[in-house]
Amino acid sequence: MPEGSGVVFDYAADKSKLGLMERASRNLIAWYVASEPLRLFFDPVELSACISEMGFQCVETSSNEINARYCLEGRNLLQLRGLRIILARF
């Protein structure tokens, strides 16, 4: 890929890496997408290592940062829990 190329995607952290509220939210999301043939849940450390091994530089954003930016600090009832966004570029 040309220098400067990259990919951005969202994913949810593996359930074992989450707190109680994040696990409850993750279970609800998993129920909604149970029929989808997608892999949605990853260990953040393992995913970052895998992306780095492919030659990408990783920049990661947590659900707290996403909520602060887009959910107006509690004004929006749809708070994201356990969701992350990763940017990987060459």
The domain spans of the chain are 6-89
Region for 49 from its dihedrals, namely left if φ exceeds 0, alpha if ψ lies in -120 to 50, beta otherwise: alpha
What pLDDT was estimated at residue 76? 56
DSSP alpha helix (H) spans, the chain: 20-32, 44-53, 63-70
Tokens of 76: 């929006």
What pLDDT was estimated at residue 40? 67
Give CA torsion, residues 73, 77, 82, 83, to 10 deg. -90
pLDDT at residue 43 greater than cutoff 80: yes
Highest mean pLDDT: which range of 26-35, 61-70, 77-86:
26-35
Give the burial string for 23-61 (b: 16+ CB within 10 Å, else e).
Answer: bebbeebeeeeeeeeeeebbebeebbeebeeeebebeee
pLDDT band at 33 (very low <50, low <70, confident <90, very high): confident
